[in-house]
Amino acid sequence: HHPTLTKNKVGYTRRDYEGPVSTLCAGCGHDSISAAIIQACWELDIEPHRVAKLSGIGCSSKAPTYFLGASHGFNTVHGRMPSVLTGANLANRELMYLGVSGDGDSASIGLGQFANAMRRGVNMAYIVMNNGVYGLTKGQFSATADRGSKSKKGAINTDNPIDLVGIALQLGATYVARSFSGDKAQLVPLIKGALAHGGAAFIDVISPCVTFNNHGGSTKSYEYVRQHDEAVSVIDFVAPGGELSTEYAPGEVVEVAQQDGSVLRMRKLHEDYDPTDRYAAMSYMNSHAARGEVVTGLLYLDPLPTDLHTALNTCAQPLNTLGTAQLCPGSKALE
Ligand code: SF4
Ligand code: MG
């Protein structure tokens, strides 16, 4: 059998989790995240009609059109996906809720909605496709844009960025992770864990906009250099329209070359990282941020979910780094 035609335990092929062909720009990171969502749902043996996918406005929020064509979908208004999702969740507890949003949608206009959804522990997997720009309206800075980064037209961003991972940790989300659109080995298990988690699961996914944020000078741009020990070599630089794959091992760093000569570093958590301490996660993340590193992986998992976030299931297995693992080999509720 062709791999995409192999049936999972509930009798669906990977193709059954796809949607129509994407109209996003060729090479957009969001399409890689859609592919990871398709893979995660197929591997978890979730029947497509048991998923409700909701989004706001933006290129990211168009993305759900292109996966899980046989699920329930609602493209809501700008920054208001969490309210609509909360209402749907209250009305029907039988579905799995997947919220898809962007940095403009969640960190700018929808910040209050995002914060309160995390605070209330709404049972959902909340994925932000984070590129630091408003791609749909031609590349204005969003609230996650790096200070000092340049827009395509040359404007300098003088505002400080908002880190949604920090907010999710602060406000009580019970599953908090960060990843990169080009790292399927990390992203697929993280999405599986988020879907199987009963509670507010948040994943911030750095997802380059090849059209408006591919000019250097930004942490979300497309020039990658890997640093392993002291050796630096260029890896996986892919021109717009190409397929980006940048998988790196636990503990390793991927460096993003900046136009001004500085670099942004993404560091994957070590396998022995303990994600069960919220305050340790904050301080770990902040200490790396102070050194200019963005940590990727499963930063926090509530070890003892309460009845406030029971819903579908809990992840029985201790999760260490998202890099490798088997975060949730399956969910009891899904069997
Ligand atoms: Fe993706 Fe940017 Fe194109 Fe939008 S404008 S589809 S974010 S590459
Ligand atoms: Mg954006």
* Predicted local confidence at residue 258, as pLDDT: 44
CA of 59 to the centre of ligand 1 (A): 6
Asked whether residue 330 carries a pLDDT value surpassing 60, the answer given is no
Give percent above pLDDT 70 in the chain.
77
Asked whether residue 172 carries a pLDDT value surpassing 70, the answer given is yes
Alpha carbon 133 to its chain's center: 16
Alpha carbon 66 to its chain's center: 16
CA of 244 to the centre of ligand 1 (A): 14
231, burial (CB in 10 Å: exposed 0-12, middle 13-18, buried 19+): exposed
* Predicted local confidence at residue 228, as pLDDT: 38
List, for residues 252-288, the tens digit of each pLDDT value: 887 655 444 445 678 889 888 999 999 999 999 999 9
* pLDDT average, residue stretch 232-247: 40
Q: How many angstroms separate the CA atoms of 273 and 65, rounded? A: 36
* HSE-up (13 A, CA, CB side) for residue 31: 18
Which ligand number lies closest to the CA of residue 140?
Answer: 2
* Predicted local confidence at residue 49, as pLDDT: 95
Closest CA to ligand 1's atom 5: 135
Which ligand number lies closest to the CA of residue 130?
Answer: 2
* Predicted local confidence at residue 221, as pLDDT: 52
CB atoms within 10 A of CB 22: 18
pTM: 0.85
* Predicted local confidence at residue 15, as pLDDT: 95
Considering only residues 302 and 98, tell me which one the structure prediction assigns the higher pLDDT.
Answer: 98
* pLDDT average, residue stretch 291-295: 87
Q: Which atom of ligand 1 is nearest to the CA of 62?
A: 6
What average pLDDT does the chain have?
80
* Predicted local confidence at residue 313, as pLDDT: 37
Hey, CA dihedral for 21, 22, 27, 32, is it positive or negative? Answer: negative
Which ligand number lies closest to the CA of residue 181?
Answer: 1
Asked whether residue 220 carries a pLDDT value surpassing 60, the answer given is no
Ligand 1 pocket list (CB less than 6 A): 24-25, 28, 30, 59, 131, 135-136, 209-212
List, for residues 133-147, the tens digit of each pLDDT value: 898 888 888 999 888
* Predicted local confidence at residue 138, as pLDDT: 86
User: 3-213+265-334 adopts what CATH topology?
Assistant: Rossmann fold (3.40.50)
Indicate the length of the chain as a whole number: 335
* Predicted local confidence at residue 256, as pLDDT: 58
81, burial (CB in 10 Å: exposed 0-12, middle 13-18, buried 19+): buried
Confidence band (pLDDT; 50, 70, 90) for 250? confident
Which among 209, 221, 222, 244 is the best mutation to test ligand 1's pocket, defined by most ligand atoms within 8 Å of the CB? 209
Q: Where are the domains of the chain?
A: 3-213+265-334
Q: How many angstroms separate the CA atoms of 221 and 217, rounded? A: 7
CA of 325 to the centre of ligand 2 (A): 28
CA of 7 to the centre of ligand 2 (A): 34
